[in-house]
Amino acid sequence: MLGELRARLSAAPAADYGGGFVGIDFSGTRAVLHKLKGSALTLGACAVGACCEDLRQHCIAGNAAAIHAAGGPGSFAELVAKTQQVLGACMVAAAAARAAAKRVVSDQKALFLGAPDAGDALLADSDAPPWPQAR
């Protein structure tokens, strides 16, 4: 969605038009911001949702200068920075989840495939295995 926003917000300074910017699709930008805000809030990324709302307000006001401000509040640069922070945190969490899943799978394989000493805790009370025996 950031690529789509970048395309909709691409504009050149218009010295011939008394300053400002031309070529910004404000209504299309608002629609994309609405979708991005909803997705961000669903995932709990409230800072991204707040940036989307600030940008949406600038679009309603037609304030292209604030949208293109270098990292100012409610600017596209701020939205990109907040989104990158969230994506970085998601990547760290995903890596930790993968590592935990690998440990669980490894432990289960050791337990059920009969690795040395893996089933000792289960067989401590009985010599019977913890699964049903075929007859």
Q: Do the domain assignments include residue 128?
A: no
Q: How far apart are CA 46 and CA 34, in angstroms?
A: 13
Residue with tokens 């050791």: 110
Q: Do the domain assignments include residue 43?
A: yes
Q: Do the domain assignments include residue 79?
A: yes
Q: Do the domain assignments include residue 71?
A: yes
Regions of the chain with pLDDT less than 70: 11-23, 111-135
pLDDT digit string (tens) for 89-125? 888 999 999 888 888 887 777 766 655 554 455 555 5
Q: pLDDT at position 37, please? A: 92
Q: Do the domain assignments include residue 133?
A: no
∠ at Cα 46 (41, 51), nearest 5°?
A: 105
Q: How far apart are CA 95 and CA 89, in angstroms?
A: 10
Q: Can you point out the beta strands (E) in the chain?
A: 12-13, 21-22
**Residue 5 to residues 27, 36, 82, 132: CA-CA distances in angstroms?**
11, 10, 15, 59
Instruction: Please tell me what DSSP assigns to residue 133.
Output: P
Domain total for the chain?
A: 1
Query: What phi and psi, each to the nearest 5 degrees, are found at residue 75?
Result: -90, 160
pTM higher than 0.75: no
Q: pLDDT at position 38, please? A: 92
Q: How far apart are CA 42 and CA 49, in angstroms?
A: 9
Q: How far apart are CA 85 and CA 47, in angstroms?
A: 10
Q: Do the domain assignments include residue 132?
A: no
Q: pLDDT at position 103, please? A: 84
Range of the domain at 34: 2-123
Q: Do the domain assignments include residue 111?
A: yes
Q: pLDDT at position 132, please? A: 60
Instruction: Please tell me what DSSP assigns to residue 24.
Output: -
Q: Do the domain assignments include residue 100?
A: yes
User: What tokens does 35 get?
Assistant: 């979708």
